Amino acid sequence: MEARVKKGLRLGIDLGGTMVKLALVNEKGRCLAVKEVATVKAPARLAGLLMGAAKEWLSSHRIVGTGVGVAGDVDSARGIVRFAPNLKWKNVPIKQFLRRAGIPAPVHVENDATAAAWGVFHTGLKKKSRNLVVLTLGTGVGGGLVFDGKLYRGATGSAGEIGHMVLDPSGPVCPCGNRGCFEATLGGVALARRGKAASPYELYLRARKGNRAALAVWKEAGRALGQGLANLINVLNPDTIALVGGVAGAAPLLLKFARPALAKAFQTPRRAARIVVPAQNKHTGVIGAALLVE
């Protein structure tokens, strides 16, 4: 079954801890307009604020629905955010709040990384991939899975937390509380801290200049990436693995160090898995959310 998207304009919302991005998106995943507003944590006020921001678009276009990506654990079927640490939300019925404020139905709520993976799939990989793993390498590490052309959510909508796959139980502490998660080695915050740099980009520039300490941090991160990807390849047998997000800019360096661990994945699935770094589209989060309106 090909993932079919209903024709018409839809509203996409990417709800983060500090900023909310809104976009008017067509069925092909093209953004016609984008807006950003600062996040307000009180759900009713937030819903009102978003409605205010989208009002002009809604009055001049017919909208077929709204897709929302939220950084947190989401009950997609009921439109409830079970837990969003950045927003300090627990069991917030965000769909209901948005509907009450007048945001166009149907409203579909999804985890933000899952929505972003859907956006990555639709903006360039749809014709080339059926079984896709998306790794978002940013401040943290997130992920999303597309199997047989369809988004994979798992039993409770929690699937795709690739950043919290444990690679070394005695490794560094992760923001989630566990040790040795992917994110604890490969997340932007972890990289900068370990390299004593202001940002992963600064650490990247240092490594490019041959700074040994900086190279050692990237080497360790690359090894973790290789080991993680080898696991994903053996378990999921994807045709494509897409690395996106700011830290994916360092992919050539990371993949060089990832190679030995990657080579240990089983041969057939390893050969089948293309690792790609798609041209950065900074709107994949809102696009993916919007395209979840089916």
Q: Does the CA dihedral 280-281-286-290 come out positive or negative? A: negative
Rounded-to-integer distance, Cα 293 and Cα 115, Å: 11
Instruction: Please choose, from the candidates 74, 93, 71, 153, the residue with its C-alpha nearest in 3D space to the C-alpha of residue 118.
Output: 153
Instruction: Please choose, from the candidates 89, 73, 59, 237, the residue with its C-alpha nearest in 3D space to the C-alpha of residue 156.
Output: 73
Least Å distance, CB 174 to Zn ion, is 3
Check residue 113 for interaction with Zn ion (CB under 5 A): no
Rounded-to-integer distance, Cα 53 and Cα 46, Å: 10
Rounded-to-integer distance, Cα 162 and Cα 235, Å: 12
Least Å distance, CB 147 to Zn ion, is 23
**Residue placing its CB nearer to Zn ion in the complex, 192 or 290:** 192
Least Å distance, CB 184 to Zn ion, is 6
Least Å distance, CB 131 to Zn ion, is 25
Residue of the chain from 145, 181, 217, 265 that contacts Zn ion (CB under 5 A)? 181
**Residue placing its CB nearer to Zn ion in the complex, 3 or 176:** 176
**Residue placing its CB nearer to Zn ion in the complex, 104 or 138:** 138
The CA radius of gyration of the chain, in Å to the nearest whole number, is 19
Query: Quick one: which segment of 31-39, 102-110, 167-175, 232-240 binds Zn ion (CB under 5 A)?
Result: 167-175
**Subset of residues 21 to 60 that bind Zn ion, contact rule: CB under 5 A:** none
Instruction: Please choose, from the candidates 2, 18, 34, the residue with its C-alpha nearest in 3D space to the C-alpha of residue 290.
Output: 34
Query: Quick one: which segment of 20-28, 83-91, 136-144, 177-185 binds Zn ion (CB under 5 A)?
Result: 177-185
Please name the residues in contact with 95: beta carbons below 8 A apart, sequence gap of 6 or more.
68, 78, 79, 80, 107, 109
**Residue placing its CB nearer to Zn ion in the complex, 10 or 164:** 164
Question: For 268-279, b where at least 16 C-beta lie within 10 A, e where not — what string?
Answer: ebbeebebbbbe
Provide the residue type at 202 as one letter. Answer: E
**Residue placing its CB nearer to Zn ion in the complex, 164 or 206:** 164
Residue of the chain from 164, 194, 206, 223 that contacts Zn ion (CB under 5 A)? 164
Sort residue 149 into left (φ over 0), alpha (ψ -120 to 50) or beta. Answer: left
Query: Quick one: which segment of 82-90, 133-141, 175-183, 282-290 binds Zn ion (CB under 5 A)?
Result: 175-183
Check residue 176 for interaction with Zn ion (CB under 5 A): yes
Least Å distance, CB 284 to Zn ion, is 23
Least Å distance, CB 193 to Zn ion, is 15
Least Å distance, CB 158 to Zn ion, is 13
Check residue 174 for interaction with Zn ion (CB under 5 A): yes
Question: Which stretches of the chain bind Zn ion, using CB under 5 A?
Answer: 164, 174, 176, 178, 181
